[in-house]
Structure 1
Amino acid sequence: MTLTPAIRDTLAAVTTATLTTVLLKKGLRRTWMRGPRPLRAGQARVVGPAFTLRFIPAREDLATPESWSSPRSTRGAIEAMPEGVVVVAGTEGITDAGIFGDILCARMARKGVAALVTEGAVRDAAGVRGTSLPVWCAAEAAPPSVAALTFVNWQEPVGCGGVAVYPDDVVVADDDGAVLIPRALVEAVAREAEAQEKLEAWIMREVEKGAALPGLYPPNAETKARYEKETGGA
């Protein structure tokens, strides 16, 4: 399923909390990535297809400063990133070194990358915050990536925060973290999440009026009928 502008706009208007509930109803429990948190306060919600990066624990003959000049390097990966992607970097939970610093993040921002999401760390954190690239990460660390990690490849399946991420799955990130939507489910999840948020906005208004929760949240048949009557389901 292509992430159309209409679907992107719908997903940008719903929370990751709502998305996890919709995905749970579809039987998907491992969609929220453990670890990534907003690097800056007030980052806007981002939506985009996943562009994956895979890191593994460092092996000394491969994880060297010289490897940064290899065609298969983080630098090469950045130049392959199309506009609008959410970069998802799997590091096997290693946070002892920063996978990217300010210069690489600035380049991603210049290329129109929507965001970086990683279970790992970034370095030059003050400089990264100074770029326009939204970042969700698990930590900040001074050492360069090769001090603890070997970069393997881009655009292959990765694990990030306990979630399996395939290229072109859709990632939504906000203040609560980052959520993965399988590519084949994007349209249905967007439609159901939008409907759920409208219903819950109506439920919140009822709670503010003093309504009790039983039968209201979750709504029973009577409550659903009243909602449909009062709003037309819109």
Structure 2
Amino acid sequence: MTTTTTTLLDPAVVATLQGVSTATITTVLLKQGLRRVWMRGPKPQRPEQPRTVGRAFTLRFVPAREDLATPASWASPRSTRAAVEAMPAGCVAVIDAMGVTDAGVFGDILCARMAQRGVAALVTDGVVRDLAGVLGTGLPVWSQGTAAPASVAGLTFVNWQEPVGCGGVAVFPNDIVVADGDGVVLIPEALLPAVLEHGPEQERQEAWIMEQVQRGATLPGLYPMDAATLARYRAEHGG
């Protein structure tokens, strides 16, 4: 069993990232050369879910095999139940379900336990089941939707805290995950300083640009800012 330790994010880092949209993060990482950081498929299952930040705690499923994907497997030491009990507070559970949408990876009881343990959110490129109960736990969920059948109807759970693929993105334990209304973005640990440095400033610049647009400004030279516009922005912001 993999025993990768999940380290907590500094509260100041969490606070900063909660003020930076996933759209902005993708742009910052694009400038760093990364294009495959937005997970295709996971969507917020409650429209008003707040932006959520945490380190990735990964879980991996493979295709169902009849001798392994059985209700009896839920009592195995290597099960989703055991994985839930290994999740630390503040983590984001990232579940590789291979995009399967006809078998729910987690339901209300597992999500209730995750909420009790202080897990920040559940993210999967698959689906959940018992949606009303899941939402009732208060656990924020990003998934492709819902399905009534249990996971063993289409998937075999194999392990946790190892590299996975979720929505076309390679996710390693302890990567940083940010999720909001636009979806879910991954920040590699090594590129976190770049996002913390450039993300908040990009948000400030784009808010200023929006103000100019609302006043009737035209886009050429404004978005992106040319040298004269950038100088005006900096003069107004003391930069």
Under TM normalisation by the shorter chain, which class is it?
A: over 0.9
Off by >4 Å, runs of 4+ in structure 1 = none
Change (3 A) 1:69 1:180: same
Aligned partner of 2:125 in structure 1 is 119
- The structural deviation recorded for 1:2 is 6.8
Aligned partner of 2:234 in structure 1 is 228
Residues 11 and 172, structure 1, Cα contact 8 Å, conserved in 2:
yes
Aligned partner of 2:3 in structure 1 is none
- Count the aligned residue pairs: 233
Name the TM-score, length of structure 1 as normaliser. Answer: 0.97
Identity of aligned residues (%): 68
Give the aligned residue type for 2:52.
V
Give the aligned residue type for 1:78.
V
Give the aligned residue type for 1:69.
A
Aligned partner of 1:214 in structure 2 is 220
Residues 7 and 187, structure 1, Cα contact 8 Å, conserved in 2:
no
Aligned partner of 1:29 in structure 2 is 35
CA–CA distance in structure 1, aligned partners of residues 53 and 192 of structure 2:
11
Runs (5+) with no aligned partner, structure 2: 1-6
Aligned partner of 2:107 in structure 1 is 101
- The structural deviation recorded for 1:209 is 1.3
Give the aligned residue type for 2:9.
L
Aligned partner of 2:51 in structure 1 is 45
- The structural deviation recorded for 1:72 is 0.6
Tell me which of 148, 163, 166 is aligned to 2:172.
166
Residues 38 and 174, structure 1, Cα contact 8 Å, conserved in 2:
yes
Task: Say if 2:23 is the partner of 1:17.
Answer: yes
- The structural deviation recorded for 1:217 is 0.3
Tell me which of 129, 138, 141 is aligned to 1:135.
141
Give the aligned residue type for 2:189.
R
Aligned partner of 1:71 in structure 2 is 77
CA–CA distance in structure 1, aligned partners of residues 27 and 140 of structure 2:
25
CA–CA distance in structure 1, aligned partners of residues 9 and 110 of structure 2:
26
Task: Say if 2:151 is the partner of 1:145.
Answer: yes
Give the aligned residue type for 1:73.
S
> CA-atom RMSD, angstroms?
1.0
Q: Which SS does the other structure have where 2:90 is aligned?
A: coil
Moved more, 186-195 or 134-143: 186-195
CA–CA distance in structure 2, aligned partners of residues 2 and 106 of structure 1:
21
Runs (5+) with no aligned partner, structure 1: none
- The structural deviation recorded for 1:187 is 2.1
Aligned partner of 2:9 in structure 1 is 3
Task: Say if 2:94 is the partner of 1:83.
Answer: no
- The structural deviation recorded for 1:232 is 1.6
Residues 96 and 143, structure 1, Cα contact 8 Å, conserved in 2:
yes
CA–CA distance in structure 1, aligned partners of residues 129 and 108 of structure 2:
7
Give the aligned residue type for 1:190.
L
Aligned partner of 1:60 in structure 2 is 66
After superposition, the C-alpha distances for 1:1-53 in whole angstroms (9 at most, x for unaligned) are: 97311111010011111111111111100000000001112000000000000
Name the TM-score, length of structure 2 as normaliser. Answer: 0.95
